[in-house]
Amino acid sequence: MFGNLFEEEEEEEEEEEGFSSASSKVRVAKGGDEPPPPRGRSNLCGLKNQGGTCYLNSLLQTLLFTPEFREALFSLGAAELGCLEHKENPGAKVRVIPLELQKLFASLLLVDEQSASTANLTSSFGWNSSEGTNQHDVQELNRILFSALDHSLVGTTGSTFIHQLYHGTIVNSIVCKDCGNVSQRQEDFLDLTVCVCGVSSLEEALWNMFVEEELFQGNNLYRCAQCDRLVTAAKSAKLKKLPPFMTMSLLRFSFDFAKCERYKETGRYSFPLSINLQPFCEETDAEDSDYSYELFSVIIHKGGCYGGHYHVYIRDVDQLGKWEPPEEERKPKTQKKSRDEVEQMCEPKLQEDDPLSVITAIIAQEPSKSVLTDQLGQKLMDKIGSSWSKKFRKHYGPIGKFLQSHNDAFMLVSNGTRVALKANPPSSTTEPPGPAKQAANPDPLTPSDPAADEQHPDLHQKSEPEQTGSHWFDLNDSMVTSIRESDIEKQFQGKESAYMLFYRKTRLQRPSEALHNPQYRIPLNLIQMAQEQNIQMQKMREEFEATNNTVELRLHLAPSYGLEGGALQPLSKEIVGSTTLSFDRRKTVGDLRLTIYQKQELWEGDMALSLAKSLPAGLHLYNTLTDDSVSLYSAGVCTNSDLFVWNGREVRGATLLIGDEWEPVLLNVVRPSLGEDGDQEGGGCFENGGPGLKREARGFAGAATLGEVRKALGEPEESLLCQKHTGGPRGEQGPEEGGGASGWRVFPPDDMQRTLKELSLKDGDALLVLEPQSLDSSSFARNGDVVTVTTPSDCRWLQVEFGPHVDGGGDGEKEERWKIKVPASGNMLLCEVKQRAIEELQLQEKISGAQYCLRHVDCTGKLLPPVCEELSVRDAGVRLMTTLTLCPGNAPKASQLFLHFSVGTAPSAGTETDIIVEKTSTVKECLKTMLDVVGLEGTCWHLRRLDWCEEVGEPIVDEDASLSELKINNGETLVVTKGQLPPMGFLKLSVWLCLDRRNNSEVSMDLNHTDDGHTQVEAADESPPLCAGNMAEPRRAGQVEISDEANLEDLKAQVLTLPALQDVCVPTTAFMRVWQLEGRRLARILRGGQLTLKKLKLSSGTGLCVQRLLKEEDLGPKDVMLNVKMGVPGERCFYPPEELVWDASRDSSPRSLRTCLAAHFCLSPDSLLLAKHQPDRHTWEEISNWSQQVSKKKKKRKAESLLGPPFHLKDGDTVGIKNLLIDNKREFLTVEDEQGQQRLREQVEQHRKGGQAAGSEGVEPQKKTGLSKPRKPEVALSINVGVFR
């Protein structure tokens, strides 16, 4: 129907479609794959989603819960179907699809797993792995699957079971109004397609289909066979044969011809839980049970017309599942009305001020439950004594609009001549009968009455069975949840709404032995298979549980540790203090204690086990395991846990303090250092000497006070303890900012009684300890509660490098380069850095009289633009601890730009010229300066910028704009190009020349012809386009400059004036074909000789490729030029390609192309097999002659257009042809294609490895842009079936 309609486009829908099966939270297995989890609380099995098979899962679950379908399938044995083990044997007739369906159904019923896989079933369909990710329409699948089963079961006793269960017939009648002659035609169906657009319920849609008559009158008369003339007639349809199972397909997807786009009908569309089809049948004299149906499955679609997800609501007829109230159960209401009170409320009450109540009462009192619309006004006046216009028109408008706006209560029937209540549609007779023959839903409180639903939403919940009988479940791929019957009403409308309805006849009763018995009528071999799978899975689960519950414990023995700095430390680095023990966490603490006792034979006395943790300060204990009866899992012991084994009191005579409050903190204790050895912060060894800071890592208990820390450090009480101050004054910068001072906050005396935890000190924090005499030093200054420490730092420098300047990087002898570290800060000017480096390197005499500047060097050794020496280190963006190179040249000022430029072509490394210009200079002034530098004259020059791939890009058109206005940045490269800028409205087009390989020898010309060097200069910066078919590799012909108002004939004439084409013999422009290039590929042929270049959408810089023809050519707008290749019989190659012009103006279907090719090669169209070549992927896409798209009115099949998806045939495409009369090989792939695919795989692998390498270096992946994801081409759904006739 819709082909690959449901292609996901929204990320939210992708998640629910692709990952709906991963709902349950499970542990990750340590070794190997995790076994499938057992069934959930519902005791029903779901189906795994292969990526886009939710439509298949929903239909398979519906068929599984159709007991008559699955029992008919199970009744077929191996004698008729064969065995799956023999399917590979030549000549064996194994009916794979029904066998795989039997296995899947048996697994769903008997195997104890949360969800089963459909991979084997889809493999039997002939689907590859990519088919599992394509979404399709479930209505289309229903028909194709039934067709595949019919073909698979030919010649078996089950060949007609689909027909017996689902087949029905419709009789279409046309009655002549003159002679009464009746012309009838029967139509078979497996499912009924009912309209959604313009109707509000299933009953109304069926009424319009099978009760309403279509009149042929006026200009639309019917030719009666008996009268032999055009007459007035009435056309109608009736259900003649009703199947046991009625499938209703709702047409929720429509096409808006005004907007030319698909859309989904999301309006309210109700359907009953039970329905009587007697009013819609031709024969109505049978028992009511023959017409009564009850709903048992609703397939639901959530999403839009281009993407979404399917799931299904199913009634468990055989009561195989375990129903429980839904988790989101509504709170019970405190007051519930009795059924009598509800019925009284539902009776029509006359409220004269409410037009809805008045009209409802009028219609309800009529025997036929309907009123003629032209009599409704009179009946209204008789009822209330006033007309509609006087009483209601002012507030409610005309009565006709009022009825249409309340379509939830009323419906117009008989072409709008009658109005009836929604729950009481009239019967099919000429004069509507009484209530006894109404379309059955006798209970006015069922969901088929929308008015009752809105007024009393709690009635369904009250009336439905809750503890006995069959219940409803929501099967959403691998998830199965219980729902209430009232939840079905939520699927009447909205983005998530019903899509297919499945009804079963009410008289189909299930035998008592089938209830609660999943093995009912399942073959013995499938039961044994399921039992073996259950035994195997149970064994896997036990092994998995044993593996998954084994934890690795690190045991730390007390004799190997001592207490130091508030934490346990190993006594010696040579002695390993811990051992590893593997243990089952389901065992108890007592079992673990006993195991450790057995391993530690020399242990004496009590044994305590405490959970520990390795911290930066050392090992710390948290809690002791005292209850030997609890499991390790309950005790909080997990894998890689640390356990400390001790006596529970002390370690080496020291009492241990355990718990979170005593967790140790590792602090960096900082003290002044006057050149002593140790880890120093600051430069005791700096050029001018001076004090530094010495660091020492010490651990302390977190509950220790600051005073106790000072005492443990051996400091006197008058010593100051300071913490690093983060909010210092403006002049205190860190090392990277170039400052030389740091601030420390002094702890006040009150803080000496506070603990480290209370002071928020954590691991790695610095604690400065100062004795009073230290403040006398010039390095320490106290201002209130802040101590400023000024120390020269080794990280506040810039390295300046100087060496001989070599142009072009010659191979001469390398001389030694001189380097010096210059002390610098963020506020220091770069000119001072340069001057100090020159003095330190003693270069005054060597560079006397020459200008030098400072430049960075990138990782490839390329010199970057000079830094502005008028700025400070910070303002110029120069980072400290980096290297600057002292190079010859001037440094730009703050108002200037340093630019590179080259003449003619994109510059290579070291070939560009440098220039310094003002930012306010115009492009014309900048160009003149560049020409003066290189000694060129003339006005036929312009500037171009480089594009993102470092190639010559578009010209700079606005020559009067300043460089700053054009956002030309410092260090940018410009290209001086020869030629005048094209005036406004003119195009400059690059022209290439392609010759036919077959006629290449006939043409003798100089393709290296130049026009003052112009062609040679510009040919170097463009790569030749890629040509296919009979054309040789193209050559550059030059450029043309032409108005965009010129037509295609003018363009061809001007192209022929190029010097490179002077020797090419072209009688007229009709012998020339012009291609437009896109991305170095031939994109389209320009056609329409009188069309202007503007209408052809050509822009300046567009590439054109001209081709000489042997005959005149005048392509129409729908003509397609194809390269066709006939396959060599029995070989994996093709004959040389030929050009073929295919006229697709009238018919662009595969049949039209097949006919055109057959006429060209003088072959039969039915003997040709076609495929389109995909050169980018080196694959062939077979062009089928069969289309599945069927119009909704079933008039005719829609022709598939090859100009649209999925083939998109265009000029220059290659079409391969196989003649099946003499060639048995249907494969189009050649050896060259396989080699190309191998190259693509290697490129992908290299790209993947490159991406991983980039990721390891910290490169962030590219973020999602706001662009919408392109949709895949729609693919037709098909199931491959063998031949069994």
If phi over 0 gives left and psi between -120 and 50 gives alpha, with beta otherwise, what is residue 967? left
Task: Please check whether residue 1031 is in contact with residue 1123, taking contact to mean a CB–CB distance below 8 angstroms.
Answer: no
Q: Is 1173 designated active site?
A: no
pLDDT class for 312, splitting at 50, 70, 90? very high
Average pLDDT for residues 1255-1280, to the nearest whole number? 54
Query: pLDDT per residue over 250-286, tens digit each?
Result: 999 988 888 888 899 999 999 999 999 999 998 877 7
Q: What is the mean pLDDT of the chain?
A: 80
Distances from the Cα of 530 to the Cα of 318, 523, 1175, angstroms: 20, 11, 48
Query: pLDDT per residue over 1040-1049, tens digit each?
Result: 888 888 888 8
Comparing 808 with 1030, the larger pLDDT belongs to 1030
pLDDT class for 576, splitting at 50, 70, 90? low
Query: pLDDT per residue over 731-761, tens digit each?
Result: 344 433 334 457 788 999 999 999 998 988 9
Task: Please check whether residue 557 is in contact with residue 570, taking contact to mean a CB–CB distance below 8 angstroms.
Answer: no
Measured in Å, how far apart are the chain's first and last C-alpha atoms? 28
**For residue 734, what pLDDT is reported?**
40
Mean pLDDT is lowest, of 408-417, 603-612, 721-730, 864-873, for 721-730
Q: Is 309 designated active site?
A: yes
Cα(534)–Cα(547) distance, rounded to whole angstroms?
A: 20
Reported residue count of the chain is 1285
**Among residues 136, 195, 305, 309, which one is catalytic?**
309
Query: Positive or negative, the Cα torsion across 350, 356, 362, 367?
Result: negative
pLDDT of 768 above 60: yes
Distances from the Cα of 417 to the Cα of 13, 388, 414, 603, 1179, angstroms: 44, 18, 5, 102, 61
**For residue 687, what pLDDT is reported?**
34
**For residue 154, what pLDDT is reported?**
92
pLDDT class for 676, splitting at 50, 70, 90? very low
**For residue 778, what pLDDT is reported?**
57
Q: Which residues of 1146-1176 are buried (b: 16+ CB within 10 A; e: fewer)?
A: eebbbebbbebbbeeeebeeeebbbbbbeee
Among 913, 683, 665, CA closest to 797: 683
- Hey, which residues does 564 pair with through a beta bridge? 567
Let me know the angle formed at the C-alpha of 494 by 491 and 500, rounded to the nearest 5 degrees. 45
Task: Please check whether residue 409 is in contact with residue 424, taking contact to mean a CB–CB distance below 8 angstroms.
Answer: no
Q: How, if at all, do strands 46-47 and 115-116 pair?
A: parallel
Maximum separation of any 2 CA atoms in the chain, in Å: 130
Query: pLDDT per residue over 942-987, tens digit each?
Result: 888 887 667 777 778 788 889 988 889 888 999 888 877 766 667 8
Write down the pTM of the prediction. Answer: 0.48
pLDDT class for 15, splitting at 50, 70, 90? very low
**Among residues 54, 176, 195, 281, which one is catalytic?**
54
**For residue 881, what pLDDT is reported?**
78
Task: Please check whether residue 100 is in contact with residue 84, taking contact to mean a CB–CB distance below 8 angstroms.
Answer: yes
